[in-house]
A and B are shown apart, each in its own frame.
Chain A
Amino acid sequence: MFQTIQVAKGVNIHTRTTDQFKTVNFSVKFKRPLTVEDASERTVLTNVLQHSSAKYPSTAAMRMYLDDLYGTVLYFDTTKRGDEHTVLLNVETVNDQYLKNGEVLGKVLELMNTVLFEPNFDNGVFRENIVAREKEMVIERIQSVFDDKSRYAQQKLLNIMRPNHPASISANGTIEDVKKVTPTSLVKTYEEMLADDLIDIYVVGDIDEKTIVESLKKALPFADRTVEHATNPTVESKPTETFVSEQQDMKQGKLHIGYHTPVTFTHPDFPKMQIFNGVFGGYPHAKLFMNVREKESMAYYCSSSYSAQYGLVFVISGIDANKEKKAISLIDEQLVAIQKGDITDLELAQTKAMLTNQIKEALDSARGQIEIYDQYKDLPTEFSVENMAAKWQAVTKEDVVNMAKQVEKETVYFLRGKEDAAE
């Protein structure tokens, strides 16, 4: 799917030439082991780099230039996968052929060089006032989770299930650690990121492979680095409690249930586990949707998701606070039903068809192509839709039963509203 070229030790460029899109997409990914301190530092760093560089010291200066480049989109972000933290620089620019005039692509590559290699330093460190301002922005972002009750409830569940573990560490870090960031510590973080991180650079678009690789080598001159990724020792982390309920001034109760499975992304049973999740609550034909929503009329949403990197499954539903017990036992019943083999051929066929469709659809966007390839490229077998589809097709009812039997409920978190709020 992508052509990969190693341009330095630990630095790879992956290109994909296609005329499917009217834009060219870049993604530069800086990867290192995930820790709370690093996540906090690196998130502040991305904000600072985004909003200020030596050439474009203010947001407005930067934005004006991006506007001139036909609204080229350029942003930094932080994400995590498994025990790895990623700083990414995503860029999307219009393909020159659709413009009446304009040599945009070359300027965009220059700009990528500018934002990464020409920081806005004062006496060798990032500017104090900008660092202070962007720390505040990151703190606000972390705090805003509280105002989104579903995200808040999910974060709480994770903190209870896997305290001090990559599963519960936010890619943005914590308020406490963001506060500790200084202009000097940020320089260290910045330099380590450029020098030591594993780097994957992606390009998708109507491009000439050779030319773009040469241009990227010039624009992003990364040196060799140690390829051995110092992985964290596996952190043992167990749920602190099995049931936690909290009350806030709100109307709907948010029920979040966490389960454990020994099957993770790299496990040979991963495709079977995906089918299990689909039958359980992954789709509108799934047991949770059909029973909790359609049959009992108790909820607008009730679904499951499978976090394969951490071997976790989550069920979420919005319900009336006084229906908590009923909802939990109804959800339990759906899992038991699958464990007992109550799975129709239709449910199995629907789930296989949906998974296949979903991955094909995801590959219809440049970002989807980059993200899926980036995730699957480290697996021993080469990624292709056909490979995945064949694995799903081979999954039997017995396999799904077997998966369900290994799924173990660990923690229930219920965020309830005021007792009479829903009246």
Chain B
Amino acid sequence: MKTIEFDQLDETLYYEKLDNGLDVYILPKKGFSKTFVTFTTKYGSIDRSFIPLGETEAITVPDGIAHFLEHKMFEKEDGDVFQKFGEKGASANAFTSFTRTAYLFSATDHLYESTKTLLDFVQQPYFTEQTVEKEKGIIGQEITMYDDQPDWRLYFGTIENMFHEHPVKIDIAGTIESIDDITADHLYTCYNTFYHPSNMLLFVIGAVEPEKMMDFIRADQADKTFEEPTPIQRIEVTEPTDVAVKSSTLEMDVLKPKVIVGIKAKETSLSGKAMLKHELSIQLALDVLFGRSSDFYTSVYEKGMIDESYSYDFSLEKGFGFALIGSDTNQTDELVEAIQNVLQNTQEKWPFGDDELERVKRRKIGFYLRALNSIEFIANQFTRYAFNDMNLFDAVPVIEELTIADVQQAFASLQGESQQTVFKILPVGNKAKTSNDKEGQE
């Protein structure tokens, strides 16, 4: 077991790669009574085309299968796994993102029993045609629930606009039609390909004795038999830099229109420290340009063009990335224009220097220090960083070192009118007719 010290943060991280390839990280936090454990596979909604383990031909599986698999992991021959966690007072959950599927629990007691439950249920699949069929009703309702959420539709509509080929544009849960095609065999194929320990990471944080926990996990994994690790063969798609659809609109039963300007990332090939530096640089640039202390914000806030729903964000993974800026607004076109003006002006003449950068760097450092109080944040984010060969605890030192040149260079990869798209949600009956509008899904 290795230890990694983060002196300035007063944290010690324990790490070991087990014989079966599983990465295990343990971070004790003093003063906490709960322990939070996440068990994550590097497998998400975008992994739809791949060569199944032990085969030679690539297949494409039905949309929404990673999420479906996540649901089905909880049902076993002897019942529902939630029951087992419940007996020990542990709260269990799981989520599927574009790139990851995570299983997790938090507990203040019976830590080892619940850790065992977690390891066992994720490593012992049990799927039958009957249980798969039953789940279709439940997930169908989950999809319908998201269909009625304007903010989700806005977010996904923008992503759909941006991408031509990349499967990030497919809704994580799939559609009612696509999940109808899912069979138990599909689930086993995906499970066998993506749930090998060498594709997974276990993170334990909070009230925990690192040596004892590592021994426990090591022994548990040594008792189980796994195939030799084989590299996973995902089928990559070629995605152009420009967006697929420049603008589209959806009508929903809302009172106030909503809009997002999406900017597709050009640089999506980085990993490790270079990726961390790039990602933080872009976030800092957005903070200066679109943050609540920016001239832009003051102007649109005072003109009533945005309200408290205003937000901006940048996401980056290997193969795709995007910045999103948006708000509920009664002045969708004016807001879009204001956002596009900032982007345009930034391209023509770089608008800020060291003072502004220094200020947002301070803010960002404060953000990370606050976030390090949350063991859920650490566990989730640490895993995301690790899957991209980055280290969460490098963020603060990397921010401290960033220069204006770094920020300028990184932001240049977002600059280009062809990388921008607009998605609007308008109240039913108010739909603005424009020639390039894509029809909504209803």
Binding site for B on A (CB under 8 A): 18-23, 58-61, 63-64, 66-73, 92-95, 98-100, 133, 136-137, 140-141, 143-144, 146-149, 248-252, 283-285, 289-290, 293-294, 297-301, 318-320, 346, 349-350, 352-354, 356-358, 360-361, 363-366, 417, 421-422
Contacts and interface: CB of A to CB of B under 8 A. Distances in A.
Given A143-B255, A363-B33, A299 B141 contact: yes
A68 B373 contact: no
Contact of A20 (B31, B135, B442): B31
Contacts of A299: 138, 141
Contacts of B148: 149, 250-252, 417
Interface stretch (B192-200, B268-276, B291-299): B291-299
B279 interface: no
Interface stretch (B39-47, B101-109, B218-226, B383-391): B101-109
B91 A71 contact: no
> What's the interface size class on B, roughly?
35 or more
22 contacts: A19-B31, A22-B372, A59-B293, A64-B293, A70-B369, A94-B366, A94-B370, A98-B369, A136-B304, A140-B307, A147-B256, A149-B149, A249-B428, A289-B82, A293-B138, A297-B136, A297-B138, A319-B141, A353-B109, A357-B106, A360-B34, A365-B373
Contacts of B337: none
Contacts of B328: 140, 144, 147
A192 B184 CA distance: 65
A18 B369 CA distance: 16
Contacts of A346: 83, 87
Contacts of B206: 364
A23 B134 contact: no
Contact of B363 (A19, A70, A144): A70
A145 to B, nearest CB: 9
Name the residue in A319, A360, A364 with the highest tally of chain B Cβ atoms < 10 Å from its Cβ: A364
Nearest to B139: A300
Name the residue in B8, B87, B206, B293 with the highest tally of chain A Cβ atoms < 10 Å from its Cβ: B293
User: Sorted from nearest, which 8 A-B pairs have the closest CB atoms?
Assistant: A353-B89, A71-B366, A20-B31, A297-B137, A70-B366, A71-B363, A63-B293, A350-B86
B365 A354 contact: no
B86 A364 contact: no
Nearest to B364: A71
A133 B302 contact: yes
Given A94-B370, A346-B83, A361-B106, 19 more contacts: A60-B292, A63-B291, A71-B363, A71-B370, A92-B370, A93-B366, A100-B8, A146-B255, A147-B254, A147-B256, A149-B148, A284-B86, A289-B82, A297-B138, A300-B145, A319-B141, A320-B144, A353-B86, A422-B144
B96 to A, nearest CB: 14
Name the residue in B254, B309, B369, B428 with the highest tally of chain A Cβ atoms < 10 Å from its Cβ: B369
B294 to A, nearest CB: 7
A280 B301 CA distance: 46
Contact of A146 (B254, B364, B366): B254
B338 to A, nearest CB: 15
A54 B141 CA distance: 51
Given A297-B137, A300-B138, A356 B89 contact: yes
B362 interface: yes
Interface of B: 8-10, 29-34, 80, 82-83, 86-92, 106-109, 134-139, 141-142, 144-145, 147-150, 206, 252-256, 291-295, 297-298, 301-302, 304, 307-309, 328, 359-360, 362-367, 369-370, 372-375, 400, 428, 442
Contact of A354 (B91, B292, B442): B91
A356 B428 CA distance: 46
A64 B175 CA distance: 44
B398 to A, nearest CB: 14
Nearest to A140: B307
Nearest to B365: A70
A98 B10 contact: yes
A60 B293 CA distance: 4
Contacts of B302: 133
B82 A284 contact: yes
Given A60-B293, A64-B293, A98-B8, A144 B309 contact: yes
A285 B363 CA distance: 42
A73 B370 contact: yes
Contact of A353 (B87, B252, B362, B363): B87
Nearest to B107: A357
B369 A59 contact: no
A249 B252 contact: yes
A283 B370 CA distance: 30
Contacts of B137: 297-298
A18 B31 contact: yes
B134 A358 contact: no
A249 B92 CA distance: 34
B373 A23 contact: yes
Contacts of A148: 149
